[in-house]
Every structure is written in C-alpha cells, then in structure tokens.
C-alpha cells in the first residue's frame, strides 16, 4: 500500500475516532469547541463559511445556523477567538429567520453554553433532513420534452412484461448512474443526466441529477437525496438492464453480484449401491464460499455419505437467493432422490437428502433452462432420465 493510500485510509478512519479531549477545560467549553471545529472543517473543505439559503445543502444550512449562534454569544467568541484562524467569528449574523427548516426550533436546540444541552447535538435534524429529502423527490416539474423519453418508458414496460428486465431491491445494487431505471413511489424513474461530481458536506461524492418520471414530470435532485429516498421507500426497486447477463455462468462479468456457487459432487464411497450407480448419483448443493473448503472433511460428514467426493460441475450464481435456488433444484429432482441409509460416525442411522439419481447431462440441461427461463413447466422423469413437459 502506497503512502497516499495509507493517508487516505487514516483520514477515513479518523471520522470514526472519538473527539480528542482537551485537558483542563470544562465539558461545556469542549462542546462549544467541538461544534466550532465542525464548521472549520466545512470551511476548509469548501473554501467558504457555511451559508443560509433554500438552495444550500441541509447540512450547510445547519452549520450556518450554528455559526450564527456562536457569533451571537460573547462568551463563545472569547473562547473561540484563539482558535479562529479562518476569521469565521468576524462575519455578521446571517438572515436566518427566513429559513424553512424552522430556525427557532433549531436555535432552541443550540442551547446556551451554561446549559446542559450539547451544542453539537441537533436533536431535530433528522426530521428536517427527512423533510428535505422528501421535498427533493416531490419537487417535480413537467418534463417539456417528455415525448423524447416516452418510447424509452414504453420499451422498459415491454421488457418487464417479457422478462427481459426484472426488478430487484435497491439495496443489493446501491449505485446510481446515467441510464439506470428505478421504481420510486409507484413511478418508473429514469436517470437521464448527471452534473459535475463534487464532495458533499458528509464527505461523500455527490452530483446533481436530472430524473425523468413515467408520469411526465422530472426532478433536478442530488444523487444522495435519491439514494436516501430509494432506501426509505420499502417498495422501491431497481429495474435491471436487459443485458445484465445470465443467472449462471462459468465466470462472472464485471459488475455482477456473486451470490454463491451451485456445485455437483460425485461420491467416492465404497458402499455397494453407490459403487454400482456412481456415474448417476450426484449431490447438488449451494455454497457462498469455496467449494473446496465446503467438502474438505467430507469423509467425516454423513451429508457426504462419510466418504471423499469429487467436484464434477460448478455454476456461479449472480444476484440469486442461494437457498431458494438450491430448493428449486431439489424440488425438480425430488422424484429421483437417493433412498439410502448409512450409519454416521456415532453409529446412528441417517438418510442424506441432497443426493439424486440424475445423470450429469440432465443437470447441465436444467441449468441451461434456468438460465434462459425455459425451465417453467418441466419436470424430471426418472424412468426416461429426461426433463419432460409436465
């Protein structure tokens, strides 16, 4: 790791470090200094003191209120002047009375330094922030050139109907880029444009987006505001691209989310029945880790017939629930489940449930049909050893 990487890492970890305590000061003074240091960091990062204004980020406006409060208290100015290398206290108190974020309530939260409340804790900020995020989504205007986007929305609707696209929870793919589609508040949303990226007061990268909605409106909101709205809406979904790739592949493409690996095992047991039918007896399972690790102690596990096994096939899963997919395979081949009882290492009889009398080529066919969606309506016929239409 280079020195610059180490510096970046140290800077990130510093955000989680507890504030350095200044020995010899009363707790009330420490709280005031800590609040002022927040404002100093903002000023250093953005090149100017925090300002009031409807168009400003909510955190900048809160810092502006805090700075006004500090400027108005002589005892605070006396305490902070030796630390004020940026000349922040020399400015005038801003016109904060016109702010829509309820400045009176916020000022009450910024209690006197002689009180017990902490000037660095804005207890009603969460509500204000949520309102601001909601306003960002709700503040929409008619999209004047919606006719140019209408065919895109119609195509996406068609793709969803045909299965070419699917919807997935936003939390699994927490990114937003131009060209991405979402469902938010019951409306289909399209990210049409993105402005120049900048650092938000929270230290995260942000940008102004142009988002078009299926009801013919658009919104010019911040990317982080859209992220928050998508997380808060329990019904919000991401609409996948039509070329996201197959459910299974020998290797994951860049950007795929690997859920796990379907593995097919062949037993090396010396059990007479297993030996006779070894070529068609297979275990089908799923793991989120390495298959080799999963089967390392197979000979000591009754799940693996108390014998070593060999891996005969693996298939990667992308964005699929592992347990559900494993259950689907087991249900598909349920009629061919191996009916065998062995004694575990304690001498107790057990009946492993993940072994099936199914040729490998049938398992390959099943994977291919899961991949292209044609598995619907098929069942496994043990007599013909084929997948057949139900």
Which pLDDT does position 99 carry in this prediction? 41
Mean pLDDT of 81-106: 63
Which pLDDT does position 35 carry in this prediction? 82
Mean pLDDT of 263-292: 90
Structure-model confidence comparison of residues 58 and 3, the more confident one = 58
Which pLDDT does position 268 carry in this prediction? 93
Mean pLDDT of 245-272: 66
DSSP assignment of 2-62 equals -HHHHHHHHHHHHTTSPPPP-TTS-HHHHHHHHHHHHHHHHHHHHSS-----TTS-HHHHH
Domains of the chain, residue spans: 3-123, 135-239, 248-389
**pLDDT for residue 266 is more than 80:** yes
Mean pLDDT of 256-275: 82
The strand pair at 205-206 and 198-199 is best described as: antiparallel
How many whole angstroms separate alpha carbon 48 and alpha carbon 57? Answer: 14
Give residue 265's pLDDT band: very low, low, confident or very high (50, 70, 90): very high
Give the 3-state secondary structure of residue 210: strand
Count CB neighbours of 136 within 10 A.
Answer: 20
pTM beyond cutoff 0.85: no
C-alpha distances in Å from residue 283, one per residue of 127, 267, 384: 53, 8, 20
Mean pLDDT of 295-313: 89
Count CB neighbours of 185 within 10 A.
Answer: 14
Q: What digits encode the pLDDT tens for the residues 6-38?
A: 444 444 434 333 444 445 677 777 778 888 888
Which pLDDT does position 308 carry in this prediction? 92
Which pLDDT does position 193 carry in this prediction? 93
Find the range with the poorest average confidence among 41-45, 67-71, 101-105, 362-366: 101-105
Which pLDDT does position 174 carry in this prediction? 58
Highest mean pLDDT among 110-114, 158-162, 353-357 belongs to 353-357
Give the 3-state secondary structure of residue 148: helix
Q: What digits encode the pLDDT tens for the residues 333-388?
A: 988 999 888 877 777 888 888 899 999 999 988 888 777 677 877 889 999 999 98
**pLDDT for residue 294 is more than 80:** yes
DSSP assignment of 317-371 equals EES--HHHHHHHHHHHTGGGB----EE-TTS-EE--SSEEE--HHHHHHHHHHHH
């Amino acid at each position: 790791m280079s020195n610059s990487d180490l510096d970046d890492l140290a800077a990130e970890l510093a955000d989680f470090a507890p504030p350095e305590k200044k020995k010899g000061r009363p707790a009330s003074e420490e709280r005031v200094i800590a609040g002022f240091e927040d404002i100093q960091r903002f000023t250093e990062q953005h090149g100017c003191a925090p300002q009031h204004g409807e168009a400003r980020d909510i955190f900048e406006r809160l810092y502006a209120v805090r700075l006004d409060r500090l400027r108005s208290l002589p005892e605070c100015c006396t305490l902070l002047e030796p630390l004020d290398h940026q000349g922040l206290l020399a400015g005038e108190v801003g016109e904060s009375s016109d702010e829509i974020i309820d400045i009176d309530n916020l000022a009450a939260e910024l209690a006197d330094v002689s009180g017990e409340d902490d000037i660095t804790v804005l207890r009603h900020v969460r509500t204000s922030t949520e309102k601001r995020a909601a306003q960002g989504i709700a503040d929409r205007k008619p999209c004047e050139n919606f006719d140019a986007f209408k065919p895109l929305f119609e195509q996406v609707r068609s793709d969803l109907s045909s299965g070419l696209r699917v919807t997935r929870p936003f939390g699994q793919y927490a990114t937003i880029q131009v060209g991405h589609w979402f469902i938010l508040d019951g409306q289909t949303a399209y990210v049409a444009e993105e402005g120049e990226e900048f650092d938000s007061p929270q230290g995260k990268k942000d940008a102004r987006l142009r988002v078009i909605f299926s009801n013919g409106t658009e919104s010019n909101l911040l990317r982080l505001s859209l992220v928050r709205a998508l997380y808060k809406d329990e019904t919000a979904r991401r609409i996948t691209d039509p070329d996201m790739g197959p459910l299974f592949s020998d290797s994951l493409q860049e950007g795929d989310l690997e859920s796990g690996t379907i593995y097919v095992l062949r037993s090396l047991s010396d059990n007479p029945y297993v030996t006779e039918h070894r070529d068609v007896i297979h275990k089908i399972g799923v793991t989120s880790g390495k298959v080799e690790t999963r089967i390392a102690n197979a000979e000591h596990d009754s799940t693996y017939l108390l014998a070593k096994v060999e891996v005969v096939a693996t298939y990667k899963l992308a964005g699929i629930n592992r347990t559900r997919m494993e259950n689907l395979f087991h249900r598909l081949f349920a009629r061919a489940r191996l009916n065998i009882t062995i004694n575990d290492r304690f001498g107790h009889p057990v009946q492993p449930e993940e072994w099936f009398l199914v040729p490998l080529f049938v398992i390959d066919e099943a994977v291919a049909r899961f991949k292209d969606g044609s598995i619907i309506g098929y069942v496994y016929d043990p007599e013909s050893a084929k997948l057949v239409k139900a």
